[in-house]
Amino acid sequence: MTHAQCVALLGAVCSPVYRGALGVMYGCGLRIGEAAAVTVKDIDAARGVIRVVGKGNKERLAPLPSALLAGLRRVWATHRHPVWLFANKRHSNHVDTGELYKVFARVRREQGLCDAVKPHALRHSFATRLMEQGVPAETVRILLGHASIKTTQTYLHLTEPIRRQVNQAVSRFCISLFD
């Protein structure tokens, strides 16, 4: 998904809790389960990071931009749960990932995106934006919590800057093919 599509999709989510959980998937590169289970203690505002417990209970730190932090503070203020950043409606636990999938599917349809676009596309888009900004693949691997660079390589498709660079390179050696 493009940045504009991500922003439009997130902007169409009415619930601040659901928008916040989906927003950290895009803004911090989290998986849906990781986003749902963020606790208040996972936020380190002073360092600008969020502690993430990923697959296999592996911990990592993800960047937490100040604008996203401000938004998350507003989300938390809607329920003030002492543990969960994204509390469910009964305030008994964190938001349910199944509900996040449903909300995403509804908004995706409203935005006219194809059914193949799943919530994981937000994490994929996070990685793509980083690559477009020139962040090395190894750094993206660490931020996503991948054990192997091979896993990260699934995100290394042709981004727009790379596509332009490839076109320019091909143009240089194909210039005289039909002379």
What residues are labeled active site? Answer: 31, 55, 120, 123, 146, 155
**Rounded CA gap, 113 and 42, in Å?**
32
Q: Nearest-5° angle of CA 160, CA 34, CA 154?
A: 35
| Distance between CA atoms of residues 49 and 21, nearest Å | 15
CA 60 to CA 145: how far, in whole Å?
A: 6
38 CB-near residues (< 8 Å, 6+ apart): 21, 24, 30, 50, 52, 84, 85, 86, 94
Beta strand pairing call for 59-63 and 49-53: antiparallel
- Please report where in the chains the tokens 């931009």 appear, as a residue: 65
Query: CB neighbours (10 Å) of residue 119?
Result: 22
Residue 79: both structure tokens together? 């329920």
